[in-house]
Structure 1
Amino acid sequence: MTTLPDRPNTALLVIDVQNGVVAGAAHRDSVIANINTLVDKARAEDVPVVWVQHSDDGLKRDSEDWQYVPELVRRDEEPLVHKLYGDSFEDTELEAVLAERGVGRLVVTGAQTDACIRSTLHGAFVRGYDVTLVGDAHTTEDLTAYGAPAPEQVIAHTNLYWKWQSAPGRRGGTVDTAEVTFAAADAG
């Protein structure tokens, strides 16, 4: 249902599952296991897997913290998008990578829920994509010391509000790993 013309395909987006990003994340191991399940499923169905990797002053490029977690292995032919901002589209080649593959729908996984995941969900949505969030395949760290809700609440709230997202010609949705299909019909 995307508003992007001639873009019938779906891609799996794996955002910022880097050592320094998920070191203290809630449910780290189960989230990574779910992402691995989705990566395997996407590869088996010839669905593009697009990896996104963040860097900034606190996450120096080429450092150990910047590296993707060892449990997730990107294949050389799978695109890797480097970013400096929360929204994976902002000042990156992500849009070109997706356009080249005819992608109009994204299945989103990764970290951190309350930062790069939310920014990318909204960034994709306003650019015309249908966007499905995998509810048990994203996570965040505990930022309660700064006044944020507990990670479980942040994750649950994001899953809840994204489940009902819609706008003319496009829709959001939240599903769990076991419910993911890469056909457009599961979005919502």
Structure 2
Amino acid sequence: MIWSVVAFVVLALAVWFADGIRKIGAVSSGEPIGDRSGTALLLIDLQSVFWDANIFTDAAKSEVKTQVLAEVEAAKSNQIPIIAIRQEWSIPSTKAVARTLMKGQAIEGTSGTEIAGPFKGLADHVLVKRVQDAFETKELDTLLAQLEVGTLHLVGLDTKYCVAKTALAARQRGYNVEIVKQAVLSADPKGAQQTLEMLTKQQVTLR
């Protein structure tokens, strides 16, 4: 009897953990946005915990920093709102996945979730996302509707994951999406290129 209980508990935990993995990579759905004329620049996951870790080469970071700052300057010059998206794992199952598979990085309440030094104070708005898709909480939907935004320019990291999932969620809603290739980073450059090719098939523009 006791072994049956143990087996049930282990199975339940495995299912719960697997659901956390599913939630992390899921792409949310939302209402079609219709015609909107505005544009916004999204800075994705440019946080100390990622930027200051030994994940990306100094050369890659230097190139991306230069391009991100250029995009920010252009946005400000054209009165385009700048929205920074910060990752904080806060759902119990996704926190468990982050602790187990992601070195505990970016769990809510831990150090490093703040915007990294080179990009601090640049955004007009800062939102927190709980999974890779920045639209999951619906807060981004609400803000973009208030700003009458129909086109999104994406920069930040990681190209394969949070950038890609946010782009796909945006396209699902009808946004025009542009990824600035020199302003995104990935720990897996080869995989990132494959991801960008996949996104072009979903009518995401690369610049």
TM-score, reference length from structure 2 = 0.70
The residue identity in structure 2 corresponding to 1:156 is: Q
Q: Does 1:173 align with 2:205?
A: yes
Question: What is the RMSD computed on CA atoms of the aligned residues?
Answer: 1.8
Which residue of structure 2 lines up, in the alignment, with residue 21 of structure 1? Answer: 50
CA distance in 1, matches of 2:200, 2:134: 20
Which residue of structure 2 lines up, in the alignment, with residue 88 of structure 1? Answer: 134
Greater helix share, 1 or 2?
2
Cα offset, 1:21, TM superposition = 2.0
The residue identity in structure 2 corresponding to 1:174 is: L
Aligned length, in residue pairs: 158
Q: Does 1:112 align with 2:182?
A: no
Cα offset, 1:75, TM superposition = 4.5
CA distance in 2, matches of 1:96, 1:74: 22
Question: For residues 132-179 of structure 1, what are the alpha-carbon distances to aligned partners after superposition, in whole Å with 9 as ceiling and x for unaligned?
Answer: 1111111122xxxxxxxxx2212322333333433xxxxx2100xxxx
Which residue of the other structure, out of 112, 124, 129, is the alignment partner of 1:65? 112
CA distance in 1, matches of 2:71, 2:180: 9
Cα offset, 1:103, TM superposition = 0.2
Which residue of structure 2 lines up, in the alignment, with residue 180 of structure 1? Answer: none
| Unaligned ranges ≥5, structure 1 | 142-150, 167-171, 176-188
How do 1:1-188 and structure 2 match up within 5 A?
4-22=33-51, 23=53, 24-26=55-57, 27-56=60-89, 57=95, 58=104, 59-75=106-122, 78-141=124-187, 151-166=188-203, 172-175=204-207
Check whether the contact 2:72–2:122 (CA below 8 A) recurs between aligned residues: no
CA distance in 2, matches of 1:45, 1:130: 18
**3-state SS of 2:137 partner:** coil
Q: How many percent of aligned residue pairs carry the same amino acid?
A: 25
Which residue of structure 2 lines up, in the alignment, with residue 148 of structure 1? Answer: none
Larger Rg over CA atoms: 2
CA distance in 2, matches of 1:154, 1:10: 28
CA distance in 1, matches of 2:35, 2:198: 28
CA distance in 2, matches of 1:55, 1:29: 25
CA distance in 1, matches of 2:135, 2:82: 16
**3-state SS of 2:117 partner:** coil
